Structure 1
Amino acid sequence: MLEPMPDDGGTVLMGSLADVDLAAAGYVQSEWRCSGTAEAYRAGGPLGADGRWDLEVADRAAFATRAVVRLPADPGRASGTVVVEWLNVSSGADAAPVFGFAGPEVVRAGHAWVGVSAQWAGVVSAPALVDVGGVALQALQDADPDRYGDLHHPGDAFCFDIFTRVAAAVVGEGGPLDRRRVDRVLAVGESQSAYALTTYVDGVLPLTDAFDGVLVHSRGGPPMPLGHRDRGVDLEAGRDDPAVRIRDDLDVPVLVLQTETDVLGHLYSLPARQPDTDRLRLWEVAGSAHADRSLIGDLEGLLGCADPVNRGQQRFVVRSALRHLDSWAGGGPAPPVAERLVVEGDPSGGRRGLSFATDDRGIVRGGVRTPCVDAPVEVLSGLGAPGASHVCLLFGRTLPVPTDELRARYPSPAAYLDAYAQALDAAIEAGFVLPEDRDEVLADARTGLVTW
């Protein structure tokens, strides 16, 4: 059952400083109470590293959760694509990081966006996986008991089917997209939600055929566990579980986008690295971190990190990834193939025996390239300082380059901007940055560091 919630501006959803102005973009937002009966799954066989899992229904339970829907106010602008984001709960509250990174692409394309409170920790008060600088963030029922007190989450054993059922209800008859054009439905999720989508793609999607394409953004090596009734999953407890690949017999396209933090840093997905196929693309973005300054702006001071957080440009790559996935899911060409980040060392000892290969400027080699790493004025890394807090490990670092080195590299501001523009055009030509973002990327140049 789908019921509209009061349109009184009371929607609780943690925002990003990078979020677009919905009204200025011609978008409207609504919130819906979604209820019904969801299924939990169990393994019908081994959960192998190849991701070719066979799941079966193990349990059923009633649920009531919510969905946030953002649509073009003018139905004639609708693209026909619905982007369904598995809201992230790592901070103890629902957040939409994929929209934070890719919102400009969502609204200029005219896509519908749906944020689903799929997990226990987004609805029910639970300990946060990540302490965001001591900021008190609350699950829905604590944040507004009057608005959300009648929601009921039966536990993360049911989160995968809740995601399926809410997405189907929103695009179905009587929902907010009723009588609007719907050509395809894409599932997206970042961080903990990417762990969840890894499990979903490998075990649940073959049962439901609910989505036409999937963007897995910043996953770890292991998948999310299948979960239990009446509680949330504990990702930290399973951080060192065996790595699992995306299954290679999919009927729908999957694009996996990883940062340095995800590949060799805190999430350590390297053991799950796999070749591209006609239904899988893996992009690893050089100079990027799991989360970065584009999401939090000057609020980075609240994190308490010893170094400035990562100022990389993954947001532009996420926008390109979404466009490529949308086209691919609609029968268009596959996204470009990307080099992997270059890793050196002996993998037999785990991550301690490995490191990124860097150039003479300290920038990782390989991977998807953006202007800030090919015309650098800082050393951008997805790896936090040794001994850094959990949240600072996720935000990476931005380290200075001595002025004399910058002078030798760029004799003038014009020389820097020329190199930066050439790198930008190369990224656009390669397909990893969108032409529509060119002016914004140019404005992102660090001109204040080259002033002689």
Structure 2
Amino acid sequence: MASPKITGPVSGGKRGYPFSSYMGDLDKRGYVEEEFFIEGKATTYKVDGELGFDGKWQLAPDSQKDYRTRILVRRPKNAADFNGVVLVEWLNVTLGHDIEVTGAMSNAIYDAGCVYVMASCQRVGVVGAGDNKQGLHQWDPERYGSLDISGDSLSFDILTQVGRAVGPKREFTGKDPLNGLKPVTILATGASQSAGRLRGYINGVHPLVNVYHGFLPTIDFGMSFGFDDFDLSSPTDGAARVRFIPTIIRSDIKTPVIVVNSETESLMYFRSRQPDSRYFRYWEVAGASHAPAPYAKVLDAMRERDGLSGADPNYGSFVPWRPVSDVALIDLIAWAQKGTLPPEADKIEVVIGEKKMPEVVRDELGNAKGGIRLPEITVPTATHTAAILGFASPLGLRGKSEPFDKAQLQQLYPTRKDYVTKVTSAAKQAAKQGFILESQVERYIEKAQKQPLGL
């Protein structure tokens, strides 16, 4: 198999900076960000048999096609700060352009000293979708006009080739995107649509190539997609031909997988629940939504900076799932490197309702029972719900938080000191259970001290 060619760091273009560049000060984190182009021949796969619910899919290499795409690399400035771990994110393209999810909100990536690599694996990210195309070609044709992914059948092998290039195998020609760093462990993550594609990669491609040491799908609906070449960038060929394939993670996998979900996915994922095992963990965060307000605020600021259409950043559930996925990343590293098992977590309580459909069980304040319970849920100041309001609207996956009135807050927390004390206890308990990092405890306490309660 020929190694991909890497060129860069990429500069220039009419914008003068990379699409999806970091929102914040990377220099203060001790990181640099550089973009590279990666090109070669990507393998497509044909399916042998059925894509069954058990995930034990059988694929075989089919054809090869040329591709040229990009990776955006964030690495520690000082080699001594590198922890040996590379995390590759399969960028989401649901809004018609590349969307960074993990790297935009995570603290753990940078605090731990990981290298973070964003990979543009899908055609839509390059060419855009719909009438108002916002792909890389449209955003900066001078910089990205040479990029080409002929179809999403190539996306799975593109992820493999990126992993080989930036992981311990270091299989590439041309410029080293890690600037001489020596990786030991390589992990892959993807959110929402990309989590579904990563699920297909785990079940079908990973057993053939065995490149990644662990996987972290997030906000995952428990479904995957086919391995064919339908064109999501075409209104006539895209949505009409998308085939969602419900599937669990194959039970015979010998590579660690942690799925981190919000309450939004809990009902659709319900049929795909499977027991935790030696190589699998499933975590659900009560009250959190698919695109909660804290992340939406960052995403919308990025879209505004980059001249893309946006939405109301103040709308949505205020319960984040990112603190949980941060600890999942640290746990996944320890699991992959040392075999240290992460904790098991209670699932959000779900019952089959009168309409024979799953429903979330709620407490007397309207919040979900069960699941991973962050201080926002154990010491609530609002009712947090995360039902799917629609897939077509950018607001449809944000959920909502309805603040308690002053009288209810005073009944729950007679004084601010009482509230801060309870949040402190809840945060310490969540850290003790292993569902937030110790560094997150202080963030919760500081937030509680500033929370507008009207007390």
Q: 1:4-403 alignment to 2 at 5 Å? A: 4-8=8-12, 10-14=16-20, 19-102=23-106, 104-127=107-130, 138-171=134-167, 172=170, 174-177=175-178, 179-228=180-229, 236-237=239-240, 241-264=244-267, 268-297=268-297, 303=311, 308-346=315-353, 349=356, 353-384=357-388, 390-403=393-406
Residue identity in the other structure for 2:205: V
Cα distance, 1:338 vs. partner?
0.2
Instruction: Say if 1:389 and 1:159 are closer, same or farther in 2 by CA, change over 3 A.
Output: closer
Rounded to whole Å, the distance in 1 between the matches of 2:133 and 2:435 is: 34
Structure 2: how far apart are the matches of 1:377 and 1:229?
Answer: 46
Aligned 8 A contact 1:377 1:446 in 2: no
Give TM-score scaled by structure 1 length. Answer: 0.90
More displaced 10-residue stretch of structure 1: 196-205 or 40-49:
40-49
Bigger shift: residues 119-128 or 369-378: 119-128
CA contact (8 A) 2:226 2:243 kept: no
- In 2, Cα distance between equivalents of 1:213 and 1:235: 31
**Contact kept? 1:101, 1:318, Cα under 8 Å:** no
Residue 318 of structure 1 deviates from its aligned partner by: 1.3
- How far apart, in 1, do the equivalents of 2:272 and 2:225 lie? 14
How many Å separate the matches in 2 of 1:87 and 1:284? Answer: 22
- 1:168 Cα offset (Å): 1.5
C-alpha contact 1:44 1:56 (8 A) present in aligned 2: yes
Per-residue CA deviation, residues 149-175 of structure 1 (Å, 9 max, x unaligned), is 111112001110011112212342652
Partner of 1:428: 431
Letter in 1 for 2:101: P
Aligned pair count reads 434
**1:79/1:109 contact within 8 Å kept:** yes
**Post-superposition offset of 1:450:** 2.2
Shift of 1:446: 7.7
Structure 1: unaligned runs, 5 residues or longer: 129-135
Deviation, 1:221, is 2.9
- TM-score w.r.t. length of structure 2: 0.89
Q: Deviations over 1:183-218 (max 9, x none)?
A: 100001111110110000000000110100000101
1:107 is paired with a residue of what secondary structure? helix
**Structure 1 residues 79 and 441: CA distance shift in structure 2, 3 A:** same
Partner of residue 133, structure 1: none
Structure 2 letter corresponding to 1:410: Y
Please tell me the residue identity of whatever aligns with 1:311. Answer: F
Separation of aligned partners in 1, 2:378 and 2:241: 36
- Which residue of structure 1 aligns with residue 307 of structure 2? none
In structure 2, list runs of 5 or more residues that go unmatched.
305-309
- Match for residue 132 of structure 1? none
Equivalent in the alignment of 2:412: 409
Report the Cα offset of residue 292 of structure 1.
1.2
Equivalent pair of 2:220/2:269 in contact (CA under 8 Å): yes
- Distance of 1:235 and 1:222 partners within structure 2: 17
Identify if the C-alpha distance between structure 1 residues 49 and 184 changes in structure 2 by more than 3 Å, giving closer, same or farther. Answer: same
For the 8 Å contact 2:196–2:220, the answer to whether it is kept is yes
Deviation at 1:6, TM superposition (A): 3.0
Aligned-pair Cα RMSD in Å? 2.5
Contact conserved, 1:254 with 1:280, CA < 8 A, in 2? yes
Residues 232-263 of structure 1: CA distance to partner in whole angstroms, max 9, x if unpaired? 69885577845200001111100001111111
The one-letter code of the counterpart of 2:318 is R
